[in-house]
Each structure stands twice: as structure tokens, then as C-alpha cells.
Amino acid sequence: LQRTLALIKPDVYPAKKEEIVARIKQAGFTIVKESEVSFDKEKAAEFYKEHEGKGFYEELTTWMSSAPIYALVLEKPAAVKEWRNLAGPTNSNKAREIAPHSIRALFGTDGSLNAVHGSDSPASAEREIGVVFGGEVAG
């Protein structure tokens, strides 16, 4: 079994949390841990450090530290890939074209307000789980 980190972002949290969690469960993920989390600017910067220097970095880290989010550690075979498939393409407008049943298609707005985050690799998942939950569920 593999673990990944899902975040329900400020554009849809808390309004769509229950609907999104229902889809996660329906897709067969085990929720290992879940909690509301508030990023401060430093935590958001650490979480998204791979994007430092990109044009959207300042906007992204400001947004992600502007309001509470909901973090979930998900477990399933191939959890990283499976959660990215369920989330859909990064841009919600593209998601509505090519993956209309995905979470970003259904709940997101555009290329920046896109409802959810998913780790992009098992290594990223472990790092991100550590950043969000302080390492208490690492491994």
C-alpha cells in the first residue's frame, strides 16, 4: 500500500469538503489521518518550495495561507497516481474538457483555484505529509 497527501484548498473548503471526502471514500481510499490545517506564509512556502521563483509562487503561497484547508493522508495501492487521476488535470477548465468527472472538473474554477492538491510522487508524499502533519504519520 502507498500513501499520498490530499489537500482540500481554500476555494472549496469548507463548502465542498463532505462531497469531496465522499468521492475519496467511494474511490476506495483509506483515510489514514485527516485534519483542518492553517498554513502560515512560511509553511506554505516550505510546502511549495519546488515552485519557488515561478511567476505564480507568491500568489499561490499567499492564497494557501489565507484561510484554513483540509489535509488527508490517503492510502491505497498506487495511491499517488490514483489520487491524481481522481483529482484530474491541474487546470479545472482543461479538466472539464478531458476529465469531466474529476474533482477539479466538478469543483475547481481555473488554473490556480483548482479545489485540491495531490502529491506528485511517493517521495513528495512523504515530504509533504511531514510538512503538514509534522512527521507523525511518516513511513
Catalytically annotated residues: 117
Interatomic CA distance for residues 6 and 80, integer angstroms: 9
Residue 50, φ and ψ in degrees, nearest 5: -65, -20
The nearest distance, CB 65 to ligand ATP, in angstroms, is: 13
Residue 34, φ and ψ in degrees, nearest 5: -150, 145
The residue from 75, 93, 112, 137 that contacts ligand ATP (CB under 6 A) is: 112
User: Is position 127 an interface residue for ligand ATP (rule: CB under 6 A)?
Assistant: no
User: Is position 56 an interface residue for ligand ATP (rule: CB under 6 A)?
Assistant: yes
x-marked contacts with ligand ATP along 62-91 as a string, rule CB under 6 A: ----------------------------x-
The nearest distance, CB 55 to ligand ATP, in angstroms, is: 7
3-state percent helix, strand, coil for the chain, nearest multiple of 5: 45, 20, 35
User: For residue 83, what are the CA distances in angstroms to 26, 99, 118?
Assistant: 12, 13, 7
The nearest distance, CB 10 to ligand ATP, in angstroms, is: 10
